[in-house]
Amino acid sequence: MASYTLVIGNKAYSSWSLRPWLLMKQSQIPFEEVRVPLYQDRHDAKIRQYSAAGKVPVLIDGELKVWESLAICDYLAERHPEKTLWPIAAAARAYGRAISAEMHAGFGALRGNMGMNVRRSYPGIGMTPEVAADIARIEAIWTMGLEQFGGPFLLGKFSIADAMYAPVTTRFKTYAVTLSAASQRYVDRLLALPPMQDWYAAAAAETEVLPQYEHAGASA
């Protein structure tokens, strides 16, 4: 029986929910999933039943509640050292924490212009000079990690860093962003993970449509 409950939003749109969800699935940490559709039917009040922050995701472990994706991931790393969710090697661990914090706090242009929507295809939409700069920085982060720690993931084996960048890979697919060969291989590798495939399948089955994440002329 799962000891954790993870409260998430719509799988089609909720990038922050994907991060701990993917980490737990890929690392085989059992949990019960509670999905609260966003921006409808008093979603904020429903989420506040689980967290006063009123945002997803929320991890519940008994009486303890942890919110914010990176905090949840760090908590799980502490609770499950056997899973090595952060690498043992200090250099890889330091790099992973730095790039994860950068992902958590940065890339506002990319977030604002290329919102997560895993059910649609919007080739070319949302590209601005600021977005291009964000993409270039992300590619540099990926290139350094893959080269320095040997792949196939950013810090060698799958880690919190990959979970933090997973929503970016969905954006690059949705908006058909042109990437270097190495970056595209990384995107393909992450999207091919069985939990990612399960996330996409569940998103396709959702019935909610949030206009703020849909563009005119969308294709499935």
132 shares a domain with 76: no
Residue 219 lies in a domain: no
CATH code (residue 32): 3.40.30.10
Residue 220 lies in a domain: no
Give 67-115 pLDDT, tens digit per residue: 999 999 999 999 999 999 999 999 999 999 999 999 999 999 999 999 9
Cα of 188 vs its chain's centroid, Å: 15
Tell me what pLDDT residue 1 has: 46
94 shares a domain with 39: no
Give 143-169 pLDDT, tens digit per residue: 999 999 999 999 999 999 999 999 999
The residue range of the domain holding 149 is 90-203
- Report d(CA 4, CA 137) in Å as an integer: 35
Residue 113 lies in a domain: yes
Tell me what pLDDT residue 53 has: 81
96 shares a domain with 172: yes
Go through the chain and tell me how many residues it has. Answer: 220
110 shares a domain with 57: no
- Name residue 102's amino acid: E
Tell me what pLDDT residue 80 has: 97
Residue 217 lies in a domain: no
* Number of domains observed in the structure of the chain: 2
52 shares a domain with 34: yes
Domain termination residue (choose one: 83, 118, 145) = 83
Domain termination residue (choose one: 83, 99, 130) = 83
165 shares a domain with 96: yes
117 shares a domain with 33: no
Domain termination residue (choose one: 45, 64, 83) = 83
- Report d(CA 7, CA 177) in Å as an integer: 30
Tell me what pLDDT residue 54 has: 80
Residue 211 lies in a domain: no
Residue 116 lies in a domain: yes
179 shares a domain with 160: yes
Residue 209 lies in a domain: no
Sign of the alpha-carbon dihedral angle for 167, 158, 28, 71: negative
191 shares a domain with 95: yes
Name the 3-class secondary structure at 205: helix
136 shares a domain with 169: yes
CATH code (residue 155): 1.20.1050.10
Whether the full predicted model's pTM is greater than 0.85, yes or no, is yes
198 shares a domain with 94: yes
94 shares a domain with 46: no
Residue in 140, 220, 113, 124 with CA at minimum distance from that of residue 177? 124
